[in-house]
Structure 1
């Protein structure tokens, strides 16, 4: 085989369209919320969804496969119907990672950057729109005793959901593979990795405000001029309490404190602080 032919083979996608379609219907993809937990949410289901393809990508690289398994046990949360789209992009990047062309942190950064925007779009479409329409049609017929009520609800909601899953997986893989090939050719891969890291940090930063709630009710001063400590902290920087707690958790996890222990400590801490009036109940 000539060098030209070798390059052509190396630049061909490794995962077939049939394999991508099957990925959309496996246990991980359809059970994206079955293994949901507070510390990392959908991470196990996402890994299960792409595991068969990871084995194919890293069949001659057991260390790379182990690294990929560890990487995809990180926090992940998204509208379930859009998970295959992210899976497609991730698989295309894992192929490049196996060739040594990108760093594993770029894959984690892209995943983190996609979670927030896609969840906002997906939740609005599937939960705020399609599900409402499906319920409206299904309930109106069910109240009349029409058997088509539950059937139409099932079809109206699930047909778009499965179409998005399948076409999303193919689009994500093709988009990722095509873009990565171009990025390697014109030298923008380093910029992509840098931008993915920035976006990942921004998403994590915004999550500290959106996913953490606590109010310090302790008052400073007396009479009408009294202010809660929460108001003072918000005046310095909104979300400062959430940021501080997030970094505390990050530090504790670095010291090998388990997530379950952190959850129990948080519950006890919250009860004690609320009892003494330091934090709002």
Structure 2
């Protein structure tokens, strides 16, 4: 492979994780089938590249970035496999083994990225505290993008130029204890991220719903939309029980949006910014908070024009933890903008209410969005196009990109306007009637149940130990933990991490690094996997 080819393909790999321009488009190119087309264009052999991409794509159909649970790097597997087959004529199955091995190791780059992301959060806080809002583009967009050049572009270029097969054999040659430690770490880190979300919204009294969500998913095997549907039913039942006999009504026609401060153009540009910058500077500490800052900042500066203190308070609220899905997150963002507008106009809306609204709304939207877009629309389209790509045709990859981008991106514009208009109409009545607290309780129940279910359905911590004495052998996972409860070790790990995060004076950074150390040690010893 020529150096220029390795550099270009390394750039494509960087682009798949960039989170700039259009994050949904980035993630679409993260798939082996679509990335194979790029490899074919650069390597001059599109038919072979498409056949390779279509051959390995079924292996990765069930792997999404929901909850940032990334156990294998789809883009690395697609780019490396197609490149090796074209460059060396290696058998596809042999190349697949190499690519999967490299993909497992390179998926650890995401853990590095999400950990380093806390630095971008701190930088954002610094700019806000000094009211240097024009510099926020550095911490939310520019610096994270440049860091990814080092984290993604450079390693992929080196892997391809010096030979993916050689790198693959090197990876397979790593000590078994180190490979086990890295695999265990990949299982534990997503739990940390999701527990951070749960701890931010789960006030006292809501923990049973978190546990219920986990147990429901563990015993039923239901995931995604199924969990979301059950959470709505449970939240509605709790809502009615808590407010039995009360008259609960809201007249949405009592207010109008004729005096709205934000125009359709403002909202459309907010949608574009969200699609462009949503996940660029994310982290395990606050997830997409930096993307929300980049999304809402121009609108907030317009709403709080002439009120420097109010703007700073709003920016601080905006920089708090946020973790939803790219497109469906537009609904809570639209509602938040309408609440900030009412507060800027003098409505008696405490800042805590806006923060609580955000914390309660994004978990259900994350479950719905991840399931609808990245676990349904995109995988279904990929599955339908694989047979055509196996013929060597190039167009199936474009169909996946176009269908996914149109169906997914259109949601953002619709939900942004819907959330803003709903909030503008309803927020005054919600605050004055006290109904907003009841609504927040409804969404908190939903969020805790959904997050518990997501951990159970997306993460699996197991014990590979086997005790052998003479002719007798005892598989600890199969014959002990699986008998007691499905996904028991994941539940235990979740409870330990959750209550560690909830401890006073326990910073998120300490929990992240502590989990990394413990995960590698326990995995290296063969205790967990």
Question: Shorter-chain TM-score category?
Answer: 0.7 to 0.9
| Partner Cα separation in structure 2 for residue 213 and residue 154 of structure 1 | 30
CA deviations 1:48-70 (Å, max 9, x no partner) are 11111111122232222222222
* 1:22/1:275 CA distance change after superposition, 3 Å: closer
Q: Between Structure 1 and Structure 2, how many residues are aligned?
A: 266
* 2:518 is equivalent to residue 266 of structure 1: no
Looking at structure 1, the residues matched to 332 and 493 of structure 2 have their Cα atoms a distance apart, in angstroms, of 32
Aligned 1:137-156 pairs, distance under 5 A: 137=385, 140=388, 143-146=391-394, 148-156=395-403
Match of 2:358 in 1: 111
| Pair 205,54 (structure 1): closer, same or farther in 2 beyond 3 Å | farther
Q: CA deviation at 1:96?
A: 2.7
More off after superposition, 159-168 vs 177-186:
177-186
1:246 aligns with 2:498: yes
TM-score with structure 1 setting the length: 0.73
Residue 226 of structure 2 aligns with which residue?
none
Evaluate the alpha carbon distance shift between residue 245 and residue 144 of structure 1 in structure 2; reply closer, same or farther with a 3 A threshold: closer
Which residue does 1:63 correspond to in 2? 309
Q: Find the aligned partners of 1:138 and 1:275 in 2 and give their Cα distance.
A: 38
- The match for 1:94 is 340
For the 8 Å contact 1:105–1:197, the answer to whether it is kept is no
Partner of 2:410: 163
Query: What's the RMSD between the two structures over aligned residues?
Result: 4.0
**Equivalences for 1:175-194 in 2 at 5 Å?**
175-184=422-431, 186=433, 188-192=435-439
1:24 to 235, 250, 271: 271
The structure-2 alpha-carbon separation of the partners of 1:139 and 1:43, relative to structure 1 and needing over 3 Å to count, comes to: farther
Q: Which structure carries more relative contact order (alpha carbon 8 Å, separation 6+)?
A: 2
Q: 2:375 aligns with which of 128, 131, 139?
A: 128
Q: CA deviation at 1:44?
A: 0.6
2:298 corresponds to 1:49:
no
5 Å-filtered alignment, 1:193-232, equals none
Gaps of 5+ in 1: 1-7
Out of 37-46 and 66-75, give the one that drifted further: 66-75
Output the CA distance in 1 between the equivalents of 2:399 and 2:453: 38
Contact 1:213/1:242, CA 8 A, preserved across alignment: no
Bigger mean CA offset, 156-165 vs 193-202:
193-202
Residues 47 and 69 in structure 1, CA contact (< 8 A), matched pair in contact too: yes
Say if 1:50 and 1:262 are closer, same or farther in 2 by CA, change over 3 A. same
Task: Label 1:105 to 1:141 Cα distance change in 2 as closer, same or farther (>3 A).
Answer: same
Q: 1:153 to 1:117 in 2, by over 3 A?
A: same
Query: For residues 267 and 241 of structure 1, do their structure 2 counterparts lie closer, same or farther at Cα, with a shift above 3 Å needed?
Result: closer
- 1:217–1:230 contact (8 Å) kept in structure 2: no
Give the gaps of 5 or more residues in structure 2. Answer: 1-254, 466-471
Moved more, 69-78 or 38-47: 69-78
Three-state SS of the structure 1 residue aligned to 2:297 is helix
Distance 1:200 1:73, change over 3 A: farther
Residue-by-residue CA offset, 1:128-165 (whole Å, 9 max, x unaligned)? 3321343233762583435x333322221111122111
What secondary structure does 1:25 align onto? helix
Alignment TM-score, normalising by the size of structure 2: 0.42
